[in-house]
Chains A and B, each alone.
Chain A
Amino acid sequence: MARKDRMAKPAKMLLNVPAIQADFPILKRTVRDKRLVYLDSAATSQKPKQVIEATSDYYSRYNANVHRAIYELGEESTREYEGAREKVADFIHAKAASEIAFTKSTTESINVIAYGYGLKGKIQKGDEILGTVMEHHSNHVPWHFVKDHKGAVLKYVDVADDGTLKMEQYDDLLTRHTKIVTVTLCSNVLGTINPVKEIAKRAHEVGALCVVDAAQAAPHMPVDVQSLDADFLAFSGHKMLGPTGIGVLYGKAELLEETEPLLGGGEMIREVHLGWAKWNDVPYKFEGGTPNIAGAIGLGVAVDYLTKLGMDAVRAHEMEVTQYALEKFDRLKGVTTYGPKDVKRRAGVVSFTIEGAHPHDIASILDVEGICIRSGHHCAQPLMERFDLPATARASFYIYNDLDDVDALIAGIKRVQEVFA
């Protein structure tokens, strides 16, 4: 690495990255005898010891089912579980904790909306559901069900070459037949941050609801459901320092009331008789079965961790790392990056291709260097088809990544180019 390049780095990062790195036990390990450079947080983030300890603490000190045990342990577990709900509600500025239901994932959350509000609820034959070409499969497939079972019509807003949504096309597709607009706040491939506040406003003008996939946004930038005026919003714990298997469904109170549950069983009922049952209140009616208690508690602690750093600082840090990365990428010959060039319009997700090297080979060669990136279609096949790409490589950044990690990535890419020269 040329000394000139090193000196070009900003003197001070916005987050104390070395202190943050010290909180993540996994970052101390090596991969194939190399320092672990983890650049796949868009797939799943690493976990700080605070989160790991909180889940372990639950199992070792107060493991008991929630909302039913009539003893101290159960009171503690219920208090912590409900406390996590409060933290999540504050984190996304919901009006009340009752607007937060715990699910297992973003995918489950969107399925609850598509099934409970769409398929079993309000959507009739001929109603239109408007998505976008850049959605993750989890915001495509649940709506296919609504089309198949209810005869809903699915329409999609296209993506321009610069990776942004074609907003004028959105206006054309939005009609009085549109009942639901469903859009990602941040693309997991292009990094594009969509103007969801404006999208929701226009949807509301024709009487449609706005469903927001915040899986890539909630971990990386401030999200305010009231400011966005999102009707439903979904995200996952594991991409924001939390455990796997815990997700969040936010819905406006009156809409959650109108949404039917996806899972029937324990926990979600008020009373059960032979042949019929009355459901529990919102949000419990969406939490059939024993919930992921440790996961929810761990997510609560992850929210604490991020809140302490400050989501504005998290976002600013990632903008700085992404800016640095994009400048470095720009100087590489034979390498193409996708998505908006302006870091104000994008998150720390950089998809790229290298001339003459398949993304799978890129990932394998970087793996030998201890660098973890994603390669493939990123569960966004319609978007890949739009750009006529079979696959891309993708590096994604988080709070524990610094400019050294970017340098390691760039050096790794040069190594790939040497192999395939």
Chain B
Amino acid sequence: MADLRELYQDTILDHSKKPRNFREIPGATAKAVGHNPLCGDRVTVYLRLDAGNIADIAFIGQGCAISKASASLMTDAVKGKSKSEATRLFERFRKMVTGRPGDPIDASLGKLAVLSGVCEFPVRVKCASLPWHTLEAALEAKQETVSLE
């Protein structure tokens, strides 16, 4: 059962059942919709940007435990950060979930490290990445729906 627990750690289950920042932001300065047609996951990320900083971030949507927990952890992780800090964090996050089991985990990922088990389940990488791709689209103020296929 070792690998199952790696994927579904308590923190992940907690964030999927009680997602943080799970709301809309009225008058958001940016928002984007992400969609994974394979599993029907759909996430909307809202941003309130203030002088290039993420003053507030929230999300709504439906999806699997991994995508929901990832979205929840992401909102906690990037709140208060600058746009470029958020983008760099996504880069490190992507490296972790697409890496090899046992690879050293970048300490700056903090709580996001609980999603490192995803790398053992390549089909779930899209679930974990969807919120981040959606955040990226919102930061770039792309209007169209992000679709991961």
Contact = CB atoms under 8 A, between A and B. Distances in A.
A368 B40 contact: no
A360 B121 contact: no
Contacts of B51: none
Nearest to A367: B121
A355 interface: no
Given A360-B127, A364-B124, A419-B4, 19 more contacts: A358-B63, A360-B64, A360-B66, A360-B124, A361-B8, A364-B121, A364-B123, A365-B4, A367-B121, A368-B1, A368-B7, A375-B39, A377-B37, A390-B39, A391-B39, A391-B40, A419-B13, A420-B17, A420-B65
Contacts of A377: 37, 40
Contacts of B31: none
Contacts of A391: 39-40
A108 B109 CA distance: 48
Interface in B114-149: 121, 123-124, 127
A195 interface: no
B91 interface: no
Contact of B4 (A356, A359, A368, A384): A368
A419 B42 CA distance: 23
Contact of B64 (A361, A367, A368, A384): A361
Contact of B3 (A32, A357, A375): A32
A337 B65 CA distance: 21
B62 interface: yes
A364 B7 contact: yes
B38 A376 contact: yes
24 contacts: A32-B3, A357-B65, A358-B63, A358-B65, A360-B39, A360-B41, A360-B124, A361-B65, A361-B66, A364-B121, A364-B123, A365-B4, A368-B1, A368-B3, A376-B40, A377-B37, A390-B39, A390-B40, A390-B41, A390-B42, A390-B62, A419-B8, A419-B13, A420-B17
Considering the complex of A and B, which 7 residue pairs feature the smallest CB-CB distances, nearest first? A390-B40, A358-B64, A360-B64, A391-B40, A368-B4, A360-B39, A361-B65
A138 to B, nearest CB: 16
Interface residue SS majority, chain B: mixed
B43 to A, nearest CB: 12
Interface residues of B, number: 22
A258 B38 CA distance: 38
A359 B8 CA distance: 14
B120 to A, nearest CB: 10
Interface in B45-86: 62-66
A179 to B, nearest CB: 32
B2 to A, nearest CB: 9
A384 B13 contact: no
A390 B37 CA distance: 9
Nearest to A390: B40
Contacts of B127: 360
B13 A420 contact: yes
Given A390-B62, A420-B13, A359 B39 contact: yes
Nearest to A358: B64
Nearest to B7: A364
Contact of A384 (B40, B65, B66): B40
Interface string B1-16: 1011001100001000
Nearest to B62: A390
Contacts of A375: 39
Contacts of A360: 39, 41, 63-64, 66, 124, 127
Contacts of B42: 390
Interface string A331-371: 00000000000000000000000001111110011011000
Interface in A369-410: 375-377, 384, 390-391
Q: Which of B1, B13, B63, B64 has the most CB of A within 10 A?
A: B64
Contacts of A376: 38-40
A347 to B, nearest CB: 24
Q: Which of A375, A377, A419 has the most CB of B within 10 A?
A: A419
Q: Which of A357, A364, A377 has the most CB of B within 10 A?
A: A364
Interface in B19-50: 37-42
Q: Which of A357, A360, A375, A384 has the most CB of B within 10 A?
A: A360
Contacts of B3: 32, 368
Contacts of A390: 39-42, 62
A238 B123 CA distance: 23
